[in-house]
Every structure is written in structure tokens, then in C-alpha cells.
């Protein structure tokens, strides 16, 4: 069909020829990517293989994964216009989209969303670090720890809440907060900062996880003492800081630790050994604001999250060997911008839901390996590509 058209010159034929040439040209310009391999026979995503065609070395020394829980395009856009038509995300050269559905639902929850990132496989809603069959699967944080990287997590929720939990724990139900807390004793994560003190200190089983963590060499501080900005953290020891007994306040109600904690955790991790680090930072309450359908709550949480992103960008710029990846598990609230001005005045935002929605979710990448994250892909590909960045011999494929 194409050949016949081209043999009879017409404006349409010329157009097709030009298009064809453009496509060939684009093919030539495509950077060398991972060769596509046949889908693996099993469901195990990060498959260790003995041999693989040589690929360009893309490994970053440090990986920072920032998750804006519930952050869809309208949340980003609202935050951008409110910030005088600027967002730190404009500094990211690579943008992609991921499909957020879980293994059992078009609408994912935060547990299965974060689990797809952490284990490289979709699982059922509520799942924390387990595959659809309920079996534990190693997380990217555990793998980083095993490989001698320093590891850290920071959240504006409790540290046992779904998103951070999915990087360190393995339970079938996200509400198993006290069980999730026990996993902080099993994987020697270097530093973690978030709420949820009571799940460590006032437990049904009577255990005192403060004491047990201290027994494992942790220094622990919390909101009852000095603020995180004031605490002097020794980089020789593991460190935990609890920002609330259960869930931290919204930023509008006075939460002020997210940005100072981001600086502290970056400073700490960059001084922990020579092997680099893996850090997960969650802006947890963008999601809660969406559930509440409260515009000012959404925008203030977005602003706090953006400041944390800027702190990471500053760090990465100086460091020169850090990959920053920013995404969300899903959008919350079906938010839309309906009116306003581009300088942020009179912004009118509305919601179509009090729940999560299923739209594709943006991914922003900057740093060594950034090109892996362009395109449209399933959410678990983020996890698989992160495993690949830790070890090039981890093959990633897009098959289930």
C-alpha cells in the first residue's frame, strides 16, 4: 500500500515518504537501550542472569526516589501556577508515564502502588512487599542494603504507613502496623524519619522496639525532644527519628520537618561510606488532601514536596552522580483546574472523587540512567529498572 502510493507521486505520497524518512532518522537517533529479551518464564521480575549483551553503564552512585502520594498532573499543575508558573520538575530532562493499576484492581491503593516500585511486580491492593501469591519478595531497599549501599527513608506519614512500609516489610495487609514495625529490626536501614512512634513503643506484644533498635546500634530521637533541625546526627551510627506518635500533622497545621529532614538525611547518607545510597522520600499527605477534597491542603502539601525536590536537586547537582526519580503511586481526588490565572491568582480547583483515580501517572528522571524512564510503561517497570541500576546483570523486561 505504501509502495504503491509512493510510485505514484502525489502530495500525500510525498508526505508519506517524508514521514518514513523521519521515522528512519528517529530510529537512528534513539540512544542505545537495553536489548529487548523474550518475556521471562516466571513472574520473578528482577531475574539474575549469567550473560547479557553489553549495555552502556548507566549506574548512578546514589538513587533518590521521591513519591508524591496521590500526585497527578492537576496537583503538579496547581502547585506550578501557585508558584508563579514555576516547578522544580521543569529541571528534569526525562519524563515518562506509568500505568498504575494493581494486580486485582484498576484503581490501585498506595500499598500495591509502592510495592510495584519496591519489588518490581504488581500485587493486590493492601499488599506490602509481597507478590500476588502473598509470598515476600525482596525490595529495592533490601537489595541496596545487601549490596552495601547506605539506605534511608523519609515520610510525612508514619514510617509504617503503606508507602514506606512497602520498601522494607512483607505483610499481606497494610494495616498490620505493629508487624511492619518489626521489619525495621530485620533490615539495618541506616536512617529513617517519619511518624508512628507508638507502633514501636506501645505495642500489643509488649515489646519495646526503641530498646531493641538501640540494642542494634541505632541512635533514636523523636518529636518529644529536639526538632529534627536541631538534632546532631552522628554519621557513624544508624539513626531513627519519630516525628509523631501516629500520623504527622498536615503542613497547614504546623508540620515543619519535611524540608530540614530532607537536608539532614542527604547530608547523613552522603557521608555513609563510599558505596552510594538509596533513599526513598514520600510526600504522603498530597493523597490525604485529595481524599479530603481540600484545595489549600493539596497545594500546601505540593509546595512542601516541591521544596524537598529542590533540596534533592541541589544535592544532585553538587554531587554529579545521583539519579533522582520522582513519581506518584496514583492520583487522588480526580482533581481538575477549572479557572484562574497563570500567575496563580484565583485558581479554581475541583474534584470529581474522594478516592484514587486510574489515570496514567507522570515520572520525572534526572541523573545517570535517566533515559531508562522515558516512555509509557507499567508501574512495576520502575522497580525493575531500579534493580537494573543497582546491578546491570539484572535483566528487566516488560512482560508480566
**Which residues are part of the catalytic machinery?**
110
In the complex, what is the shortest distance from the CB of residue 47 to Zn ion, in angstroms, rounded to a whole number?
A: 32
> Which C-beta is closer to Zn ion: that of 212 or that of 292?
292
> Which C-beta is closer to Zn ion: that of 109 or that of 179?
109
In the complex, what is the shortest distance from the CB of residue 291 to Zn ion, in angstroms, rounded to a whole number?
A: 6
In the complex, what is the shortest distance from the CB of residue 75 to Zn ion, in angstroms, rounded to a whole number?
A: 13
Q: How far apart are CA 17 and CA 20, in angstroms?
A: 5
Is there a contact between 349 and 74 (Cβ–Cβ < 8 Å)? yes
> Which C-beta is closer to Zn ion: that of 145 or that of 287?
287
Residues 6+ apart with CB under 8 A from 96: 362, 363, 365, 373, 374, 375, 376, 377
Q: How far apart are CA 313 and CA 230, in angstroms?
A: 23
Span of 1-9, 121-129, 232-240, 282-290 interacting with Zn ion by CB under 5 A: 282-290
Is there a contact between 148 and 175 (Cβ–Cβ < 8 Å)? no
Q: How far apart are CA 283 and CA 308, in angstroms?
A: 9
Question: Helix (H, G, I), strand (E, B), or coil: what is residue 332?
Answer: strand
Exactly one of 287, 301, 329, 331 binds Zn ion (CB under 5 A); that residue is: 287
Is there a contact between 126 and 111 (Cβ–Cβ < 8 Å)? yes
Span of 3-11, 149-157, 200-208, 280-288 interacting with Zn ion by CB under 5 A: 280-288
Using CB under 5 A as the binding criterion, the count of chain residues that bind Zn ion stands at 1
Q: How far apart are CA 164 and CA 284, in angstroms?
A: 9
> Which C-beta is closer to Zn ion: that of 354 or that of 398?
354
> Which C-beta is closer to Zn ion: that of 67 or that of 266?
67
Cell of 204: 500489643
In the complex, what is the shortest distance from the CB of residue 329 to Zn ion, in angstroms, rounded to a whole number?
A: 8
> Mask of contacts with Zn ion, 150-189, x by CB under 5 A?
----------------------------------------
CB atoms within 10 A of CB 392: 15
In the complex, what is the shortest distance from the CB of residue 287 to Zn ion, in angstroms, rounded to a whole number?
A: 4
Q: Please, which residues bridge with residue 267 across strands?
A: none
Q: Using CB under 5 A as the criterion, which residues of the chain lie in contact with Zn ion when the complex forms?
A: 287
Amino acid at each position: 500500500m505504501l509502495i504503491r502510493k509512493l510510485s505514484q507521486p502525489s502530495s500525500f505520497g510525498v508526505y508519506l515518504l517524508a514521514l518514513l524518512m523521519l521515522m528512519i532518522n528517529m530510529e537512528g537517533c534513539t540512544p542505545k537501550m537495553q536489548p529487548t529479551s523474550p518475556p521471562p518464564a516466571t513472574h520473578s521480575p528482577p531475574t539474575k542472569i549469567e550473560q547479557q549483551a553489553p549495555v552502556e553503564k548507566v549506574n548512578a552512585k546514589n538513587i533518590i526516589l521521591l513519591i508524591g502520594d496521590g500526585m497527578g498532573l492537576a496537583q503538579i499543575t496547581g502547585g506550578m501556577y501557585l508558584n508563579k508558573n514555576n516547578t522544580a520538575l521543569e529541571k528534569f530532562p526525562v519524563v515518562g508515564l506509568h500505568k498504575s493499576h494493581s494486580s486485582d484492581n484498576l484503581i490501585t491503593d498506595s500499598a500495591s502502588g509502592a510495592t510495584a516500585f519496591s519489588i518490581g511486580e504488581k500485587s493486590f491492593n493492601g499488599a506490602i512487599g509481597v507478590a500476588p501469591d502473598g509470598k515476600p519478595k525482596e525490595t529495592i531497599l533490601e537489595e541496596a542494603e545487601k549490596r552495601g549501599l547506605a539506605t534511608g527513608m523519609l515520610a510525612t506519614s508514619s514510617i509504617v504507613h503503606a508507602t514506606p512500609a512497602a520498601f522494607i516489610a512483607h505483610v499481606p495487609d497494610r494495616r498490620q502496623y505493629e508487624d511492619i514495625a518489626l521489619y525495621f529490626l530485620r533490615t539495618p536501614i541506616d536512617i529513617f524519619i517519619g511518624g508512628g512512634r507508638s507502633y514501636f513503643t506501645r505495642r500489643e506484644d509488649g515489646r519495646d522496639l526503641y530498646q531493641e533498635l538501640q540494642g542494634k546500634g541505632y541512635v533514636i530521637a523523636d518529636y518529644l525532644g529536639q526538632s529534627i533541625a536541631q538534632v546532631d546526627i552522628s554519621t557513624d551510627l544508624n539513626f531513627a527519628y519519630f516525628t509523631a506518635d501516629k500520623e504527622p500533622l498536615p503542613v497547614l497545621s504546623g508540620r515543619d520537618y519535611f524540608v530540614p529532614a530532607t537536608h539532614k538525611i542527604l547530608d547523613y547518607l552522603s557521608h555513609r561510606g563510599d558505596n552510594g545510597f538509596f533513599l526513598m522520600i514520600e510526600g504522603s499527605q498530597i493523597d490525604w488532601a485529595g481524599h479530603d477534597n481540600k484545595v489549600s491542603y493539596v497545594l500546601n502539601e505540593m509546595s512542601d514536596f516541591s521544596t524537598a525536590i529542590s533540596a534533592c536537586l541541589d544535592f544532585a547537582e553538587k554531587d554529579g552522580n545521583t539519579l533522582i526519580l520522582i513519581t506518584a503511586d496514583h492520583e487522588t481526588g480526580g482533581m481538575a483546574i477549572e479557572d484562574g490565572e497563570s500567575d496563580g491568582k484565583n485558581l479554581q480547583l475541583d474534584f470529581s472523587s474522594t478516592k484514587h483515580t486510574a489515570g496514567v501517572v507522570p515520572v520525572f528522571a534526572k541523573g545517570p540512567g535517566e533515559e531508562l524512564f522515558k516512555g509509557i510503561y507499567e508501574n512495576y517497570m520502575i522497580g525493575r529498572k531500579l534493580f537494573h541500576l543497582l546491578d546491570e546483570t539484572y535483566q528487566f523486561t516488560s512482560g508480566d
